[in-house]
Structure 1
Amino acid sequence: MSLGHVAIIGFGAIARDLIDILAAQECAPDHLTLLVRPGREAEIQAALGTEASVTSSLDTVLAMRPDVVVECAGHRAVAAFGAAVLASGADLIVASVGALAEADLAAGLETAAQSSGAQCVVPAGAIGGIDALGAARLSGLISVDYIGTKPPGAWAGTPAEDVTDLAALTTPCTFFEGSAREAAQRYPKNANVAATLALAGLGMDRTRVRLVADPGTTENTHAFSVTSQALEFSMQLVGKPSLRNPKTSRSTVYSIARAVVNRRTAIVI
């Protein structure tokens, strides 16, 4: 069975990897459409050839009635296009989960989805255990604590540079402690895992987050612990950084691809 018509917003590291992964599936998309920034259409169309349609117009994308739209372009793209996609009746898979830390934006997406019957899908991304966390939430959560550790270079260009000299670090440095909402808003390219845990668990303001720059690692480590009325558990995942973007764990795109594939799978796990 085909994945149907898949539209992707963006053409960065995640989007490019996603295109390759979906094309390799037995149920590859019948058609692929990319929504990109104005002025890049010809360049990207030339790179992809006849593999996809490329446009900078959301109206053009929605007029083609895609089965699903996958956002892979950052917080601004979620704000600019998310509600319109959902209002059109197309399901939206959000990679930039941290955008939902903006309460008004999240409420707008929810309203648009409810009015059309579409779904806004948040994949697990670089983290695991979301099923156990979601189940524990129903029993009553007491605490959810997350620690995100990446090499110093992954935090370059972020507010971490304002509080520590990343290049001079010789030992791990915790440069942020606060809520998931604060983490997602201050580190939009690095804290999507914190936002995902918050949405599945205690919410943006009660999920506690620590962000660490560690010169002794080349990998992205996500660790969290949960205490609830039904169970207690902790989990640590060590993700390889994306070859195209070290701020992103390589596993993220596979989680997004799984969300796309599961839409057409008869038995879903």
Structure 2
Amino acid sequence: MLRAGIIGFGTLGKSISELIESGQAGDVVLQALLVRTPLGPLDQTPNQCTVTTNEDVFFNQDLDIIIEAAGHHALQLYGEKALSIGCNLVILSVGALADKDFYGTLQAAAKKYKTQMIIPSAAIAGLDRIAAGVLGEIDEITLITRKPPKSWYGTIAEEKVNLETIKEPYCIFEGNARNAAKLFPQNVNVSAALSLAGIGFEETKVQVYVDPTIQMNTHTIVAKGYFGQMETTIQNNPFKENPKSSPIVAMSVAKVLQNQTTSVVIGV
């Protein structure tokens, strides 16, 4: 049985926890939760799970795998330590890896301690094809992200458009994935994952739209290369509690955990 820990117990952390508890993540037990502030009496946590604000307590729970579900700062604080204690690390705040030095630090730790950084497909599809296709020559990769106005509150988008009155789709960013990940850390982690799977942050093109004509978070990937051509569009229902993310992200983590314990692995 795989012993898992989760850093963060917001919308994503809770959803991942529920999938583990229901058995949908495979032969996994949720051993520990690391939270920023103590949970309240109404917060439901798994039975026999250590819930702590103390990082030393969390990292001493004899964990096999740790899931980061708490944002870029949490990954920067705890990512290297998670790898250095012998745990594989599932990374959801992939945009933090746009920082070359930080990414290099985590890579070095994973290599030294023989652990892995695991980046799920999360909100997009096709990372398996991109990662395979890059073994040949890829000519171009473009990501087009469209999200409804409700997904953009609390971001730089509020400085560019009036989210209350916008009527037509508006491009708030066009450039490379490195700059996109820095400007929209919660909204375009997908661009970072795509860059790492494919041709890098500088060469991956990104367009980002506020789109009042849609209800679901939408990502289109267009790629061309030696392998052929690929165009895929994903439409994700956002969480009601946190429209910046989607339930499929938690499901993707559950699939990663399944892959760690099952005898048959599909889609990698």
The reply to whether residue 33 of structure 1 matches residue 32 of structure 2 is yes
Task: Specify every segment of 5 or more residues in structure 2 that has no aligned partner in the other structure, as ranges.
Answer: none
Residues 129-180 of structure 1: CA deviation (Å, up to 9, x unaligned): 1111111101111100000000011111111111221211111111111111
CA drift at 1:184: 0.8
- 4+ long deviations beyond 2 Å: 26-32, 40-47
The 8 Å contact of residues 45 and 52 in structure 1, kept in 2 or not, is answered as no
Q: Which amino acid aligns with 2:99?
A: E
In structure 2, C-alpha distance between the alignment counterparts of 1:205 and 1:146, rounded to whole Å: 13
Q: Which amino acid aligns with 1:218?
A: Q
CA drift at 1:120: 0.5
CA drift at 1:85: 0.6
Which runs of structure 2 are paired with 1:104-183 in the superposition (5 Å)?
104-183=101-180
CA drift at 1:121: 0.4
More helix by share: 1
Partner of 2:180, secondary structure, is helix
Equivalent residue number for residue 21 of structure 1: 19
TM-score by length of 1: 0.94
Which runs of structure 2 are paired with 1:1-269 in the superposition (5 Å)?
2=1, 4-25=2-23, 27-37=26-36, 40-43=37-40, 47-48=44-45, 50-269=47-266
In structure 2, C-alpha distance between the alignment counterparts of 1:171 and 1:234, rounded to whole Å: 24
The 8 Å contact of residues 45 and 54 in structure 1, kept in 2 or not, is answered as no
Q: How many residues align?
A: 265
TM-score by length of 2: 0.95
Residues 166-211 of structure 1: CA deviation (Å, up to 9, x unaligned): 2111111111111111111111110011111111011111100011
Identical amino acids, percent of aligned pairs = 32
In structure 2, C-alpha distance between the alignment counterparts of 1:44 and 1:73, rounded to whole Å: 21
Residues 50-77 of structure 1: CA deviation (Å, up to 9, x unaligned): 3421112222222222010000000001
RMSD of Structure 2 on Structure 1 (CA): 1.5
Task: Specify every segment of 5 or more residues in structure 1 that has no aligned partner in the other structure, as ranges.
Answer: none
Partner of 2:168, secondary structure, is coil
CA drift at 1:42: 4.8
Partner of 2:232, secondary structure, is strand
In structure 2, C-alpha distance between the alignment counterparts of 1:237 and 1:100, rounded to whole Å: 23
Relative to 1, partners in 2 of residues 1:98 and 1:105: Cα closer, same or farther, differing over 3 Å? Answer: same
In structure 2, C-alpha distance between the alignment counterparts of 1:85 and 1:135, rounded to whole Å: 28
The 8 Å contact of residues 144 and 221 in structure 2, kept in 1 or not, is answered as yes
Partner of 2:40, secondary structure, is helix
Relative to 1, partners in 2 of residues 1:153 and 1:25: Cα closer, same or farther, differing over 3 Å? Answer: same
In structure 2, C-alpha distance between the alignment counterparts of 1:44 and 1:132, rounded to whole Å: 45
Relative to 1, partners in 2 of residues 1:267 and 1:46: Cα closer, same or farther, differing over 3 Å? Answer: same
Q: Which amino acid aligns with 1:225?
A: V
In structure 2, C-alpha distance between the alignment counterparts of 1:115 and 1:49, rounded to whole Å: 33
